[in-house]
Amino acid sequence: MGQQTIIKLVDGNLMPQLGIGVWQASNEQVVKAIDTALNVGYRSIDTAAIYHNETGVGKALRESCIPREEVFITTKLWNDRHQDAKTALQESLDRLQLEYIDLFLIHWPVPQQDKYVETWKQFIELKESGLVRSIGVCNFHIEHLQKLFSETGIVPAINQIELHPLMQQRQLHSWNATHHIITESWSPLSRGGKGVFDHPLVESLAIKYDKTPAQIVIRWHLDSGMIAIPKSVTPSRIKENFDVFDFRLEKEDLTIMAGLDIGKRLGPNPDTYNLTVLNLG
Ligand SMILES: NC(=O)c1ccc[n+]([C@@H]2O[C@H](COP(=O)([O-])OP(=O)(O)OC[C@H]3O[C@@H](n4cnc5c(N)ncnc54)[C@H](OP(=O)(O)O)[C@@H]3O)[C@@H](O)[C@H]2O)c1
């Protein structure tokens, strides 16, 4: 297996290009999944307050023999805490039992609340305090990013957005890149690969490179310059998803992958999503 790739963020910090996501995994599942992931070589974990599994992430880290500074931890601020980011971060730190977080993200812009610029100002202070190393956002459209920049002059290091072969978000990705914001893909496998893994174009690339469809899709993210955080609690898939550093997709195959884009959103639209209830179960 080749060496994993590392991305330099606009603030100079380094982030692994491939991590593991833990949405919809219980604390118990997360402890096992992260144990497997760290043993395979993952060094980046994506959680959020709303996932209710930060406790499990922290436990897995403590039980591993890997030094804290070698693992990149991301968590996110939920929609009901936009006014209260500092306290919410401290609560996340307490659940994770960590002294700092590598990346803190505003989970959704919730434009109806219109508080995200104020939240971003708190994030800038949190970065200055050292409690978080890098700050970023999720699900921000160009107009939301422009507003952050025009009012604070500071761009997010990361914009984590829904991005997979069925919705490739080329315009937003390109805008992010122009403004030194790294695009991070959520639901990178289109949530289990429905309509992607069995697509004839992906199947043919899997045969060509002697890899699985999931590995082709993950490689497509990496070769397109995105960070990807595929989620799995299945040990064989956790290993499979990381076994992607011994090949690259040729340019013509990246062009082939572009043909899968049908603009199919699997999650909510950030322009209208305003769920603020924290207790989703
Ligand atoms: N910022 C946001 O608003 C936001 C929104 C959604 C997600 N996220 C983050 O992005 C991460 C990934 O997104 P996601 O969980 O929605 O979807 P995903 O990673 O695209 O897909 C996860 C699903 O694919 C399955 N899977 C994983 N590897 C596979 C493989 N090699 N072959 C076949 N099936 C495979 C998993 O099953 P098993 O687990 O059963 O193996 C799970 O059902 C999340 O965990 C979360 O950290 C962020």
Q: HSE (CB half, 13 Å, CA atoms) of 67? A: 2
227 has a pLDDT exceeding 50? yes
Range of the domain at 155: 4-189+223-242
Mean of the pLDDT values across residues 54-61? 98
From the CB of 78, is ligand 1 less than 6 Å away? no
52 is annotated as contributing to ligand binding: no
The pLDDT value given to residue 240: 98
Question: Any residues with CB less than 8 A from the CB of 149 and at least 6 apart, and which?
Answer: 155, 179
184 sits in which H/E element: strand 182-186
In a domain, residue 201? The reply is no
205 sits in which H/E element: helix 200-209
Tokens of 210: 């002697």
1 has a pLDDT exceeding 80? no
In a domain, residue 275? The reply is no
In a domain, residue 247? The reply is no
From the CB of 214, is ligand 1 less than 6 Å away? yes
Secondary structure (3-state) at 238: helix
256 has a pLDDT exceeding 50? yes
Per-residue pLDDT band at 280 (split at 50, 70, 90): very low
Number of domains observed in the structure of the chain: 1
What CA–CA distance (Å, rounded) separates 95 from 211?
38
In a domain, residue 249? The reply is no
From the CB of 137, is ligand 1 less than 6 Å away? no
Q: From the CB of residue 69, how many other CB atoms can be counted at a distance below 10 Å?
A: 8
The pLDDT value given to residue 252: 98
Per-residue pLDDT band at 111 (split at 50, 70, 90): very high
Mean of the pLDDT values across residues 34-57? 98
In a domain, residue 256? The reply is no
The ligand 1 atom at the shortest distance from the C-alpha of residue 241 is 31
DSSP state of 130: T
Mean of the pLDDT values across residues 224-235? 98
In a domain, residue 70? The reply is yes
Mean of the pLDDT values across residues 258-281? 85
From the CB of 196, is ligand 1 less than 6 Å away? no
Chain position carrying tokens 């604070």: 152
Secondary structure (3-state) at 162: strand
The ligand 1 atom at the shortest distance from the C-alpha of residue 240 is 31
Widest CA span in the chain: 51
- pLDDT single digits (tens) 144-178: 999 999 999 999 999 999 999 999 999 999 999 99
Q: Where residue 134 sits, what CATH number does that domain have?
A: 3.20.20.100
The pLDDT value given to residue 2: 82
In a domain, residue 155? The reply is yes
In a domain, residue 258? The reply is no
Distance, CA 59 to ligand 1 centroid (Å)? Answer: 21
* Whether the Cβ atoms of residue 51 and residue 75 lie closer than 8 Å to each other: no
Query: What is the sign, positive or negative, of the torsion defined by CA atoms of 270, 271, 272, 278?
Result: positive
Q: Which of the residues are catalytic?
A: 51
